[in-house]
Amino acid sequence: MAKNITLSADDMLIKLAREKARRENTSLNQLFRGWVKKYVNRDNIENEYDRLMDNMADVKTDRKFSREEMNER
């Protein structure tokens, strides 16, 4: 169940944010929900990143790659 909350901000800032959200085919409500979800999961994402880097600690290259090689797809 969704819970309503009340936030406050400068009137002009809200107006500009609503206009920008409308241009992006979204709403301030959707943007806020996305922000809250990212905020809550931020620690989890950081922990996952740290685990990934730990798992890749043994990966070594024997040379530096050229710019072209790094940009190959």
Domain boundaries, the chain: 30-56
Give the per-residue pLDDT at 33.
94
Is this prediction's pTM over 0.85? no
DSSP string, 4-34: -------HHHHHHHHHHHHHTT--HHHHHHH
Q: What is the mean pLDDT of the chain?
A: 89
Give the per-residue pLDDT at 2.
85
Q: How far apart are CA 65 and CA 71, in angstroms?
A: 10
| Ranges of the chain whose pLDDT falls below 50 | none
